[in-house]
Chains A and B, each alone.
Chain A
Amino acid sequence: MDTKFMSQRIGKAFRKFFRSGSGKMAFVGAVILVIFVISAVLAPHISPYDPTKRVGRAFTPPNSKHWFGTDNLGRDMFSRVLHGARIALLIALLAVVIASAIGIPLGLLSGYIGGPLDRVLTLVMDAIYSFPGLILAIAVAAVLGTGIVNIAISIAVVYAPTYFRVIRNQVASIKSELYVEAARALGANNWTILIKYVLPNVLPSVVVVLSMNLADAIMTEAGLSFLGLGIAPPTPDWGYDLSNGQRFILMNDWWMIMFPGLAIIILVLGFSLFSEGMNEYLNPNVGQQE
Chain B
Amino acid sequence: MKDSALVAVENLVKHFPVRMNFIQMLFTREKKKVHAVNGVSFKIEEGQTLGLVGESGSGKTTTGRLVLKLIEPTDGRIKFMGKDITPLKPKEMRPLRREMQIVFQDPLASLNPYMKIGEAVRHPLVIHKIGRNRIQQREMVLEMLEKVNLRPPEEFYNRYPRQISGGQRQRVVIARALITRPKFVVADEAVAMLDVSIRSQLLKLMVDLKKEFNLTYLFITHDLATTKYICDRIAVMYLGHIVEEGSFKDIYSEPAHPYTKALISAVPEPDPKIMKTKKKMIPSGEVPNAIEPPPGCPFHPRCPHKKAVCSRTFPEVVEISEGHKVACHIYARR
Contact = CB atoms under 8 A, between A and B. Distances in A.
A150 to B, nearest CB: 37
Interface in B118-168: 123-124, 127-128
A183 B173 CA distance: 11
Interface string B97-114: 110011010100111111
Nearest to A201: B114
A185 B109 contact: no
A182 B101 CA distance: 9
A20 interface: no
A276 B93 CA distance: 44
Interface in A186-205: 186-189, 192, 196-197, 200-201
Contacts of A177: 109
B127 A187 contact: yes
Given A187-B94, A196-B115, A200-B115, A182 B110 contact: yes
Contacts, number: 60
Given A185-B97, A187-B98, A178 B109 contact: yes
B176 interface: yes
Given A186-B97, A201-B113, A196 B123 contact: yes
A115 to B, nearest CB: 15
Nearest to A288: B162
Given A178-B104, A196-B115, A186 B123 contact: yes
B63 to A, nearest CB: 15
B16 to A, nearest CB: 14
B131 to A, nearest CB: 15
Contacts of B98: 187
Contact of A188 (B96, B110, B113, B123): B123
A186 B127 contact: yes
Contacts of A178: 104, 106, 109-110
Contact of B127 (A181, A192, A200): A192
A131 interface: no
16 contacts: A177-B109, A178-B104, A179-B110, A179-B111, A179-B112, A181-B70, A181-B110, A182-B102, A182-B104, A182-B111, A184-B70, A185-B68, A185-B70, A186-B176, A187-B95, A187-B124
Interface residues of A, number: 17
Interface string B295-323: 00000000000000000000000000000
Interface string A157-184: 0000000000000000000011101111
A184 B104 CA distance: 13
B97 A187 contact: yes
Interface in B183-233: none
What interface size band does chain B fall in? 20 to 34
A103 B216 CA distance: 46
B172 to A, nearest CB: 11
Contacts of B113: 179, 201
Interface of A: 177-179, 181-189, 192, 196-197, 200-201
A188 to B, nearest CB: 5
B20 to A, nearest CB: 18
Contacts of B93: 187
Given A182-B102, A183-B112, 20 more contacts: A178-B104, A179-B111, A179-B113, A182-B110, A182-B173, A182-B176, A183-B123, A185-B68, A185-B70, A186-B127, A187-B94, A187-B95, A187-B97, A188-B127, A189-B127, A196-B115, A196-B123, A197-B115, A200-B112, A201-B113
Nearest to A186: B124
Contacts of B128: 187
B154 to A, nearest CB: 14
B174 to A, nearest CB: 12
Given A179-B111, A184-B70, A197-B112, A189 B94 contact: yes
Contacts of B173: 182
A177 B106 CA distance: 11
A196 B113 CA distance: 11
Contacts of B91: 189
- Interface centre among B96, B104, B106, B112, by most chain A C-beta atoms within 10 angstroms, is B112
A197 B68 CA distance: 21
Nearest to A1: B163
- Interface centre among A184, A187, A188, A192, by most chain B C-beta atoms within 10 angstroms, is A187
B247 to A, nearest CB: 29
Nearest to B96: A187
Contacts of B94: 187-189
Contacts of B111: 179, 182
A102 B291 CA distance: 43
Contacts of A192: 127
A183 B111 CA distance: 9
Contacts of A182: 102, 104, 110-111, 173, 176
A185 B112 contact: no
Contacts of B68: 185
Contacts of B115: 196-197, 200
A179 B102 CA distance: 11
Interface in B63-109: 68, 70, 91, 93-98, 101-102, 104, 106, 109
Contacts of A197: 112, 115
Contacts of A187: 93-98, 124, 127-128
Contacts of B96: 187
A16 B217 CA distance: 44
A142 B68 CA distance: 57
A183 B114 CA distance: 14
A54 B98 CA distance: 74
A166 to B, nearest CB: 18
- Interface centre among B94, B97, B110, B113, by most chain A C-beta atoms within 10 angstroms, is B110
